[in-house]
Structure 1
Amino acid sequence: MAKNKLVIPEARQALEQFKTEVAHEFGVNDPRSLASNHTGYIVRKLVEMGEKQLINNNKNN
């Protein structure tokens, strides 16, 4: 499996933590064992988190 370079290399730890949290939501102990069909769920979760951040930022301004 090829590793993609992150735009911000320091984000690797946060990304790995996120993958671990999503894996636990699926009841999987090892995030590397998540199948590619879970990718859509992960992307939706990331978009949802981003939307919430934007809404909260706009409320505070």
Structure 2
Amino acid sequence: MSRNNLVVPQAQAALNQIKYEVAQQFGIQWSPDGYNGNMTTRDAGIIGGNITRTLIQIAEQSLGAGARRF
């Protein structure tokens, strides 16, 4: 049972698409039925890290140039 609750439940499809695209980009098998229990920890980390990187890039683009003032 997942304890992660999406703030915007409609975002689930977009997140699944990003997972699939990242996995495909790195040549990692992604199960279409949603079960990935046979995935190595390394592969899961690659996917998770790159999803985070992708979401940060999307947020920065949506905020415009002002996001780089840190």
Band of TM-score, shorter chain: 0.5 to 0.7
TM-score by length of 2: 0.59
**Structure 1 residues 1-61: aligned runs within 5 Å:** 2-30=2-30, 32=36, 33=39, 34-35=43-44, 37-38=45-46, 39-55=48-64
Q: Which has the higher contact order (CA 8 A, sep 6+)?
A: 2
TM-score by length of 1: 0.65
- Aligned-CA RMSD value: 2.3
**Runs (4+) of structure 1 moved beyond 4 Å?**
none
Alignment length, in residue pairs? Answer: 55
| Percentage of identical aligned residues | 40
Aligned to 1:59: none
Any stretches of 5+ residues in structure 1 without a counterpart?
Answer: 57-61
Any stretches of 5+ residues in structure 2 without a counterpart?
Answer: 66-70
Q: Judging by fraction of residues, say which structure has more helix.
A: 1
